[in-house]
Structures are given as C-alpha cells and as structure tokens.
C-alpha cells in the first residue's frame, strides 16, 4: 500500500500539472512540425519518373508499380540486357535502379534472392530502395536484400535512416527521462521534501521504486511522443516514402517496443542515482549532462562500428541500440533483443537497489 501511495503521488504530481505535461509532450510535437516543414522545403512534391532495369518477374513488381502509381509517380520498367551499361546509366542518373529477382522469388524458398543496385546519393534511388525494402518486408521476406550502390559517397538512404533512428531514440528517451527525474529526485532532495518521507517508517526500497516506476512510465510517454515525432517526420525530411517505416512486421515492432521499454527505466534509474547523490538540481543537471554525453557516445559507436561481438549484449545502451539498428535494417535479432531487455532490466534492479542504499545513507541524504 505504501508503494502504491508513493507511486500515485508521482503520477498525481505529473498529471495535475499542465506545465509538466506540456514539457514532456512538446518536444515530439516540435520535432514533427520542424522536420516536416524542413522536409517540405528541401524536397519538392513534384511527381517522380522512375526508370528501373528489371531482371526476373514476380508479384512484387506489380505491388511496387501499384504503390508508385498511388503516390502519383510513374515507373518505366526496362529489360536488363547488359548489366554494365545499366550500371553506367544508374551512375549517370539516366536510370533509377537495377532490380534483380530470381525466378523462384515468389516461393521465398532456397535460392530466392532479391538484389538492387542504385545511386545512394540520388533522391529517386533512395526512394526506390526504401520502397523495395518495405514492400519486400510487407510480403514476408525473411532474408536481406543484396544491396549495391554505384556511388560510394554519403549514403543518405534507408541505411542512414535505420542507423540514425536508434541514436535519435536514445537521445529522446534520455531527454524525456532527464526532464522528469531531475525534478522529482534531486528537486525533492533539495527542497527537503524527500527527508520528510524518510522520517516515516516506509522502506527505502519502496521510496526508490515509488520514484523509478512512475517516472519511467511518464518518461516513456515523453519518449513515445518524441519517437513518434521523429518516425512520422523523418521520412519526409529525408525525402523517403513513409512506407519505409510501415513495412516492418509485428514482431519487429514488438521487439523495438520491448527494447525501448527496457531502456527507459534503465536511464531513469541512472539519472536517479546521479540525482540522489547530488545536493541540488543544478548539481544533478551538470552530472547528468556528462552521463548524456557518455550515452550518446555509446550510441554513436553503434553507428560507426557495424560488426560487434556477442559481448555487446552486456553493455547497457549499446545492446539496445545495436538491436534496434538490426531490426530497422530488416533483421529479426530475437535473442539479442530479448537478452538485451533482460540485461537492461537487471541493471535497472541494481541501480534501484543502489538508490535505496543511498536513501539510507546519512552522508548522501544529509551531508552538507
């Protein structure tokens, strides 16, 4: 009952203060509006005329054509006779891409492969690649596409999108957790209201849980707001079709959801530890900024280093980011995701225990 009362207090504090609600939801709305406006400025809405060299036939081609036509764009299918010439045409911008599908592609059986060659520096090329990926995922393809780009310069297509999203998720989750946790833990300590609770017979572990559970829920709302803001506007910003993000399977979304869900309490607890150790919100903000830089650095590592060993599961933040990256890249790393979720929850338990210990520490709570 005491734990429930503690949790209810945190929820009450948040949901009865319109300013806090705005603070937590505003970033998502602002991100969506900003990215959408920027996307509209950068990418004009002229209809695209795509020229694609095609080898092989499949029902997928019909689906692609249908989607392209529904978007108000046009596609011209050219037979792939000379691959060298076709590659040169893609590189010169005279054609959009080369799409190769094996004869038994529709069976999704052994040997069924899909390949795409496109110019990653071209807006139409990236658009077509994103479209192919999402259509193939939506029809249930379980193997990666053979991707080749004719341009080695900046890869601004789906690969960056899927690599960038986990990093953005981490950043937004951290921001959401920071805004609520600093105020609730360091703020209460600074104002002396936490000491009033410590003078009662409630267990310190209940006080710690009574903070971390509701703050994680509230942070998750903020993180979801920011995440949706990014997801809904990023394709627009990058000139990609929105279908690039709706083509994932239910399991992919479930794993993404679980990873984010495990990541939020971990960050809240980490900021909770820093806040409990700090004497004021100002001091806690300074330390949390350092923590944020560390978390962002770890996230960036996953952008740069693509091949990492199994040990990555044991590294908080990095485990979730790499798993999210693989999911968004079209893979289904079920075990990596579940083990990462388990590891994050384990770290959260350890951090909550540490907070409870600190709440019992006279030096931490009442040291001048």
Partner 1 sequence: MEDLFANEIVRAENLKKTFTLSRKQQRLEKTALNRKIAVNGLSFSANRGEIYGLLGPNGAGKTTTLRMLSTLIKPDEGDAYIMGHSVRKEPQKVRDCVGFLTGELKLETFFTPDYLFDFFGAMHGVEKEVLAERKRELFARFGIDAFAQVKVGDLSTGMKQKVSLVVSIVHDPDVVIFDEPTNGLDVLTAKVVTDFLLELRRMGKSILLSTHIFSLVEKLCDRVGIIIDGKMAEEGPLAAVCGTTSLEEKFFELYHGLKGEIV
Map the footprint of partner 1 across residues 323-352, applying CB under 8 A.
none
Report, in Å, the least distance between residue 178 CB and partner 1.
20
Map the footprint of partner 1 across residues 160-199, applying CB under 8 A.
188, 191-193, 195-199
Is there binding between residue 293 and partner 1 (CB under 8 A)? no
Size, binding site for partner 1 by CB under 8 A: 26
Nearest Cα to Cα of residue 262 among 325, 220, 208:
220
C-alpha separations of 103 from 62, 81, 106, 110 in Å: 15, 16, 8, 11
329 phi, psi to nearest 5 deg: -80, 5
Token representation of residue 127: 């658009």
Report, in Å, the least distance between residue 264 CB and partner 1.
24
Burial tier of 362 (Cβ tally within 10 Å: 0-12, 13-18, 19+): exposed
CA distance 238 to 227: 16
CB of 13 or CB of 87, closer to partner 1:
13
Report, in Å, the least distance between residue 202 CB and partner 1.
5
CB of 194 or CB of 327, closer to partner 1:
194
CA distance 272 to 211: 8
Report, in Å, the least distance between residue 340 CB and partner 1.
36
Report, in Å, the least distance between residue 153 CB and partner 1.
54
Q: Which of 48, 87, 113, 203 binds partner 1 (CB under 8 A)?
A: 203
CA distance 238 to 36: 10
Distance of CA 13 to the CA centre of its chain: 28
CB of 43 or CB of 203, closer to partner 1:
203
Report, in Å, the least distance between residue 25 CB and partner 1.
19
Report, in Å, the least distance between residue 11 CB and partner 1.
12
CB of 199 or CB of 304, closer to partner 1:
199
CB of 256 or CB of 277, closer to partner 1:
277
CA distance 104 to 110: 9
Q: Are 288 and 182 in contact (CB under 8 A)?
A: yes
Map the footprint of partner 1 across residues 11-70, applying CB under 8 A.
12-13, 16-17
CB of 14 or CB of 172, closer to partner 1:
14
Distance of CA 205 to the CA centre of its chain: 31
Burial tier of 5 (Cβ tally within 10 Å: 0-12, 13-18, 19+): exposed
CB of 138 or CB of 361, closer to partner 1:
361
User: Measured in Å, how far apart are the chain's first and last C-alpha atoms?
Assistant: 33
CB of 15 or CB of 335, closer to partner 1:
15
Q: Which of 44, 47, 153, 200 binds partner 1 (CB under 8 A)?
A: 200
Q: Which residues bind partner 1 (CB under 8 A)?
A: 1-2, 4-6, 9, 12-13, 16-17, 188, 191-193, 195-203, 362, 366, 368
């Amino acid at each position: 009952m005491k734990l429930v009362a503690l949790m209810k207090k945190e929820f009450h504090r948040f949901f009865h203060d319109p300013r806090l609600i705005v603070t937590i939801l505003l970033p998502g709305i602002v991100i969506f509006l900003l990215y959408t406006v920027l996307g509209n400025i950068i990418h004009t809405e002229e209809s695209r005329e795509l020229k694609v060299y095609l080898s092989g036939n499949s029902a997928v081609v019909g689906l692609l054509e249908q989607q392209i036509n529904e978007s108000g764009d046009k596609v011209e299918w050219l037979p792939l006779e000379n691959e060298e010439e076709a590659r040169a045409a893609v590189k010169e911008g005279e054609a959009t891409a080369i799409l190769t599908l094996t004869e038994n592609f529709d069976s999704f059986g052994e040997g069924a492969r899909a390949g795409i060659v496109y110019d990653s520096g071209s807006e139409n090329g990236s658009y077509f690649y994103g479209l192919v990926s999402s259509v193939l995922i939506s029809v249930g393809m379980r193997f990666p596409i053979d991707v080749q780009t004719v341009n080695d310069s900046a890869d601004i297509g789906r690969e960056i999108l899927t690599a960038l999203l986990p990093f953005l998720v981490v950043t937004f989750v951290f921001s959401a957790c920071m805004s609520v946790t600093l105020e609730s833990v360091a703020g209460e300590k600074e104002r002396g209201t936490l000491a009033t609770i410590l003078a009662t017979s409630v267990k310190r572990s209940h006080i710690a849980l009574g903070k971390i559970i509701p703050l994680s829920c509230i942070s998750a709302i903020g993180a979801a707001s920011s995440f949706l803001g990014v997801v809904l506007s990023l394709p627009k910003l990058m000139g990609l079709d929105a279908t690039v993000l709706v083509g994932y399977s239910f399991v992919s979304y479930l794993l993404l959801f679980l990873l984010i869900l495990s990541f939020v309490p971990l960050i809240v607890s980490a900021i909770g530890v820093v806040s409990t150790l700090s004497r004021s919100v100002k001091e806690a903000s300074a330390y949390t900024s350092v923590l944020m830089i560390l978390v962002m650095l770890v996230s960036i590592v996953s952008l740069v280093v693509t091949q990492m060993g199994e040990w990555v599961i044991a590294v908080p933040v990095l485990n979730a980011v790499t798993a999210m990256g693989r999911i968004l890249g079209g893979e289904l790393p079920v075990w990596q995701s579940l083990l990462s979720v388990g590891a994050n929850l384990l770290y959260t338990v350890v951090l909550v225990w540490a907070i409870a210990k600190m709440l019992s520490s006279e030096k931490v709570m009442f040291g001048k």
